[in-house]
Amino acid sequence: MDTKKLNIAETLESIRLEKRLNKGDFADKCGISKSFYSEIINKKRNLNVTTLEQICSNIDVPIEIFILKAINEDKIEDPERRRLVREIRPHMKKITDLLYSFS
């Protein structure tokens, strides 16, 4: 098993910082309690897919963009796949920017 490829906690925190919100306000926006948010970012809680989907929906970030943002490229072992992920990222970035500008 190769896990920890997804930086869920770091990605949530980076979106929170982009939105310039404190943890309480961001947790509100996510639709979860501040203590649950803290557990997630301190990696004490394992999110289920439905909850992640709901959080993404609440913060207006498409889940596929969230996942792509959360991928830890350094943990991708296959060099060809690593190259592909690096190649597709700028395009996804453009889409993210476009999507963010809607909200």
Which parts of this chain interact with a copy of itself (CB under 8 A)? 1-3, 5-6, 8, 31, 46-50, 52-54, 57-58, 62-64, 67-68, 71, 78, 80-81, 84-85, 88, 91-92, 95, 98-99, 102
Q: Which three-class secondary structure state does DSSP give residue 6? A: strand
Q: What is the length of the chain?
A: 103
CB of 25 to a copy of itself, least distance (A): 19
Q: Which three-class secondary structure state does DSSP give residue 63? A: helix
- Which is nearer to a copy of itself, 25 or 53 (by Cβ)? 53
* 84-93 long-range contacts, CB within 8 A, separation 24+: 92/65, 92/68
Main-chain dihedrals φ then ψ at residue 33, nearest 5 degrees: -75, 160
- Which is nearer to a copy of itself, 3 or 20 (by Cβ)? 3
Tokens representing residue 84 in the block: 């592909």
CB of 23 to a copy of itself, least distance (A): 20
CB of 20 to a copy of itself, least distance (A): 23
- Which is nearer to a copy of itself, 20 or 87 (by Cβ)? 87
Residues 6+ apart with CB under 8 A from 51: 32
